[in-house]
A and B are shown apart, each in its own frame.
Chain A
Amino acid sequence: MRTYTVALAGNPNTGKSTLFNALTGLKQHTGNWSGKTVSLASGHYEYKDARFQFIDLPGTYSLFSNSADEEVARDYIIFEKPDVTLLVLDATALERSLNLALQVLEMTDRVIVCLNLMDEAKKKGIQVNARKLADQLGVPVIPISARNNEGLDVLSEQLLLMSTGQTPTKPYRMKYNEQLEAQISGLESQLRDIVGDEYPARWLAIRFLDGDRKLIATLKERLKAADKGGISLGTAKALGSSNSGHSF
């Protein structure tokens, strides 16, 4: 049986841990407040002939190097390259959620968007057109309600399809102003020469222009490690801090 890794990303308090629990049967502490998950938790679940290893990333609003948890989430997506990044969006606060979604779509092609809290949205009189959103974002968009176990079958099927490369995606890539775009494309080709297809060159170019020193430092470390025989230190380090003990 093949194992695929799935990273759960999203804003704080959108129900990532609830979805994680619903799928893996584990008991991550859930609660209605931002910042509850402070470290990576992992668990797995099996669907048909595949085994999905889920990583519950800390909830963040952006993936710039603003704080430790943003870095943890971002480094995981870029350097550990999960087979699928599952973006959990809050259907009741879509605009805020989309901010992060657009950033993730710059980083990787293999993205599935979950519109969570659909039950809540319905109660509040908010209708979200998932198909329209999927067309615009260029990746599958699946409405779910993790706490009521709704939409999880469709989600599982889509996870399988995407992991096995049967879902072509065309993720929407942010366009910036002309001046910035000119700088990006110049840098992008130079970066592509250096890192090849190993890392998303356009995204790296944007981070370079943004002056993200921490990312550049991590990238250099990675390249150094790859030179020395490609030992990847990242996974062990990232998972070493899995939620230990119990939290209230």
Chain B
Amino acid sequence: MEQLKRLEALTAAIPSDQVEDVREDIVGELFKKSRELCSDAVTVTNRELLYRSERLDRIFTSKLWGFPIMLAMLGVIFYLTIAGANVPSSMLASFFGWVEGYLTLAFQAIHAPDWLHGVLILGLFRGTAWVVSVMLPPMAIFFPAFALLENYGYLPRVAFNLDRLFKKTGAHGKQSLTMAMGFGCNAAAIMSTRIIESPRERMLAILTNNFVPCNGRWPTLILLASLFMAAGFSGGAQTFVTASVVMGMVLIGVVVTLTVSWGLSKTALKGVPSHYTLELPPYRKPKILNTILRSTLDKTIYVLRRAIIVAAPAGVLTWILANIYVGDSSILIHFVSFLDPFARALGLDGFILMAFIIGLPANEIVLPILLMGYLATGSLTEVEDMFALKQIFLDQGWTWLTALNMMLFSLLHYPCGTTLVNIWKETKSAKWTFLSFAIPTAIAIGVTFLVAQAARALGWV
């Protein structure tokens, strides 16, 4: 304790009025010495090369070209993802269909009971097979492409371009970096908001991160866009339209992010944006093979594993709910018909809402649950390719409005369970965790309701 007392006395003895000067002196001396050391040890042989990054930045962050280039890059990535994923997705689907046939034969050969075949093959196997074939190909293209841009050093330029918009809404410019992380995984993006020092602006970033679609929602958006929005086109035009629709969704997400940030910083999170310096690192040519390999191993496989781990039990659960009867219909149907009237008002149906509710743990499983719900109750079409899929939806009375509103709901609704847990861990506040659930949910319901009512009133459907 002796030590401590003497330390206290010493602290008290330091005058506090000169603190500013001391810091300035220290920093000044540090800079001087660094420059001195550098002039001794560093020789620059070619001045021209030094300014390459600056010249590139004049284009990438220019007022005129900054936004078009950004949108074009995103568009190209979506186009490549959609164009490249189509064939492998169908191939995987038919491969799993082929395996399923043999598995069914094997079950028949050993005279396995029907319910076992139902749980394991129609529930577990089909659910997982769908997750793999719908998710793997787009992820295997999207993640590496995005990682290449990231390693090249493009992300901070995006932040630079968007900075002005975020400032105007009262948010922090670095929020666009955390948004970019959200494209991969909102749960991880919540952690990345630590780069924002001010608690107010960090909270804004946390509350709005959900409005960028994560890997769990890409497949839903891509699939529905290509099946319903681009149906009238074929070939390259179809891919182009699909990519544009997906991009439109992303832009809607950005607009909602900015609007919600603006609204919150005028009300619950009042304040002015703080100053910060954003560093624009030099552009570096990424190690291409290395980046592709790493992002495939780390991201694609990781995400897929997570999806399967959650999808498998959800598949079993859905099958069981669909096959246990209470009265004259199954538990699933009771649940679905309970939700149906409300869902219809939003332009959805009871099954879709049910899938979003059961899909709370992970967005990846919403689509598989929906399919299992549809398949377990009516036409047991064997799903062989992507177009058989559309028939399932059409049989359930889907229109373009159903698809559009499911995409909107997916984009805007509450964050997944993992993300909510992370928000709780990072904010330690029940209130803000609840709000991060409630705000998106309210927006999702409001937007889909308005779109559905408007489309019906105008007689478009």
Contacts and interface: CB of A to CB of B under 8 A. Distances in A.
Interface string A91-106: 0111110110011000
Question: Which residue of B25, B26, B38 has the most chain A CB atoms within 10 A of its CB atom?
Answer: B26
Contacts of B458: none
B46 A125 contact: yes
Given A38-B191, A246-B299, 20 more contacts: A29-B298, A32-B153, A38-B194, A98-B37, A124-B46, A124-B49, A125-B45, A126-B50, A129-B43, A180-B26, A191-B10, A194-B6, A206-B26, A210-B23, A210-B26, A219-B7, A245-B418, A247-B181, A247-B189, A248-B188
B428 to A, nearest CB: 13
Contacts of B14: 208-209, 211
Nearest to B194: A38
A130 B40 CA distance: 11
B108 to A, nearest CB: 41
B145 to A, nearest CB: 13
A247 B192 contact: yes
Interface of A: 12-13, 27, 29-36, 38-39, 62, 64, 67-69, 92-96, 98-99, 102-103, 120, 123-130, 132-133, 136-137, 147, 174-177, 180, 187, 190-191, 193-195, 206, 208-211, 216, 219-220, 223-224, 227, 243-248
Majority secondary structure of chain B interface residues (helix, strand, loop or mixed): helix
Contacts of A210: 19, 22-23, 26
Given A32-B281, A246-B298, A247-B191, A128 B41 contact: yes
A133 B192 contact: no
B63 interface: no
Contacts of B182: 248
A112 to B, nearest CB: 17
B37 A133 contact: yes
B72 interface: no
B29 interface: yes
A157 to B, nearest CB: 22
A101 to B, nearest CB: 8
Contact of B7 (A69, A126, A194, A211): A194
B416 to A, nearest CB: 12
A191 to B, nearest CB: 7
A175 B281 CA distance: 31
Contact of A208 (B10, B33, B37, B195): B10
Contact of A136 (B40, B279, B282): B40
Contacts of B418: 245
Contacts of A103: 30
B44 interface: yes
Contacts, number: 191
A38 B1 CA distance: 35
Interface string B161-191: 0000000000000100100111111011101
Contact of B41 (A33, A35, A133, A224): A133
B197 interface: yes
B47 to A, nearest CB: 8
Interface residues of B, number: 75
Contacts of A96: 34
Contacts of A176: 25-26, 29
A39 B190 CA distance: 13
A196 B418 CA distance: 47
Nearest to A216: B11
B38 A33 contact: no
A30 B155 CA distance: 13
A128 B42 contact: yes
Contacts of B50: 124-126
A194 B6 CA distance: 7
15 contacts: A12-B279, A29-B298, A31-B155, A33-B177, A94-B37, A120-B282, A123-B49, A124-B49, A126-B43, A133-B40, A175-B29, A176-B29, A209-B14, A220-B7, A245-B185
Contacts of A98: 33-34, 37-38
B417 interface: no
Contacts of B27: 62
A127 B294 contact: no
B197 A67 contact: yes
B31 interface: yes
Contacts of A243: 191
B216 to A, nearest CB: 12
Contact of B30 (A137, A174, A223): A174
B31 A99 contact: yes
Contacts of A245: 185, 187-188, 191, 418, 422
